Amino acid sequence: MSEQNWEPKIIAFFCNWCTYTAADLAGVSKLSYAPNVKIIRVMCSGRVDPQFVLYAFANGADGVLIGGCHPGDCHYSEGNYKTLRRISLLKKMLTQFGIEDDRMRLEWISGAEGEKVKTVINEMTENIRKLGPLNIPEKFITWDRELEKRNRGSEYKLRV
């Protein structure tokens, strides 16, 4: 995709009980928001393995949004605290990889906060639009271009 008509691609992990419900509520309330966020339903934000986040980035996501219940209101009691702990260590690590803080966002959105789904999605889309594309798959291709200089027969195999 050319830089010009590039649109931020954001993957969201929403917990079934609060944030996914809030996104449904936003739908029922016909709130209009940016189409850039695609939602994956998990039962609890505690299910979100940092591997998922990196996998999303590695496959071309420009941002990852995680939505859970407010602290103290987790349907599973404390899953959201575990998410907070993981995300804060993961962020520390992502900085070293050169991934900007705004590309990963953790938000507490209760089932009643359809409006907040809209605000957060719009805000995040705009923030990432400002940061520009991350486009890791493209980067990998660029990195591996140095290997193409040589002719290396049938066994040649690229990672991506």
35-94 binders of other proteins (CB under 8 A): 35, 38-44, 46-61, 71-73, 75-79, 81-82, 84-86, 88-90, 92-93
Q: How far is the CB of 32 from other proteins (least distance, A)?
A: 6
List alpha helices for the chain, DSSP H. Answer: 19-28, 50-58, 79-97, 114-131, 136-144
**150 contributes a contact to other proteins by CB under 8 A:** yes
Q: Is the dihedral of CA 67, 96, 49, 55 positive or negative?
A: positive
**Residue 53 token pair:** 């986040």
Q: How far is the CB of 15 from other proteins (least distance, A)?
A: 9
Type and span of the H or E element at 10: strand 10-15
Identify which of 139, 157, 158, 3 has the alpha carbon closest to the alpha carbon of residue 60. Answer: 139
Exactly one of 2, 3, 6, 33 binds other proteins (CB under 8 A); that residue is: 33
**30 contributes a contact to other proteins by CB under 8 A:** yes
Cα–Cα distances in angstroms (integers) from residue 111 to residues 16, 17, 34, in the given order: 9, 7, 20
Q: How far is the CB of 105 from other proteins (least distance, A)?
A: 14
β-pair partners for 107? 67
Q: How far is the CB of 71 from other proteins (least distance, A)?
A: 7
Q: How far is the CB of 53 from other proteins (least distance, A)?
A: 7
Q: Tally the residues of the chain.
A: 160
Binding pattern for the stretch 6-25 against other proteins, x by CB under 8 A and - elsewhere: -x-x-x----xxx-xx-xx-
**1 contributes a contact to other proteins by CB under 8 A:** no
**Residue 158 token pair:** 């690229």
Nearer of residues 127 and 131 to other proteins, judged by Cβ: 131
- 32 contacts: CB under 8 Å, gap ≥ 6: 118
For other proteins, the binding residues in 87-126 under the rule CB under 8 A are: 88-90, 92-93, 96-99, 110-113, 118
